Amino acid sequence: MIATTTPPVATPLLPAGTPVRLMVLKEINSRTARLGDRFKLRVDEPIYIDGASAVPVGSTAWGEIASVEKNGAVGKGGRLGAKLLYLDLPSGRVPLRGGYADKGDGNGAGVVLAVVGFGILGLLTGGDSARLKAGDSFTGYVDVTPPPAAPPSVVAIPSAPLQASAAIAD
């Protein structure tokens, strides 16, 4: 009896530079974020290669906090920078490039009002935090085309079992 197997369907490769529309799932702000924190993104628009769906809506991508500066006293606003890492697909990870940066608004007028109302303690009034808001979307790009998947290796099975040598020298 001959067993036949169907080869796995290969996911089309994504060429370098392919745009990927991504959406932030959970708000990240300069007040709570730390350098190196990773966060999840969602693919917001499908990607088709030669008419075949290569990346469906809802696929997961990952980003990382690349820079963070907390908001400070005297109305100083926070800063936040993030970079894209990769896209998770059933066929493996696809590297992405791109990033996002935001600067929180300063609060000069608030500081003046706080000094008038609270005296010198009003100088402790901080500015706004920088943030990546849930639902914000931006475009990243495929960084490098992943290598094609290696075909399954074929192992030849000998037709007769191997026999050990019976002669052992004393």
- The predicted-structure confidence for 71-106, as pLDDT tens digits, reads as follows 754 445 678 888 999 999 988 899 999 988 777 644
Name the residue with tokens 């966060």.
39
Confirm if 36 and 65 have CB atoms less than 8 A apart: yes
| Nearest Cα residue to 61 out of 104, 102, 18 | 18
Third-level CATH fold of 19-142: Lipocalin (2.40.128)
Q: Where are the domains of the chain?
A: 19-142
Q: Say how many C-beta atoms besides its own lie within 10 A of residue 142's C-beta.
A: 23
What is the pTM assigned to this prediction?
Answer: 0.63
**pLDDT per residue over 27-79, tens digit each?**
988 888 899 999 999 999 999 988 888 999 999 999 999 988 877 544 456 78
| Distance of alpha carbon 163 from alpha carbon 158, whole angstroms | 12
- Encoding tokens for residue 167? 């002669």
Helix segments in 39-147, DSSP class H: 108-118
| Distance of alpha carbon 52 from alpha carbon 131, whole angstroms | 36
Helix segments in the chain, DSSP class H: 108-118
- Encoding tokens for residue 18? 């392919």
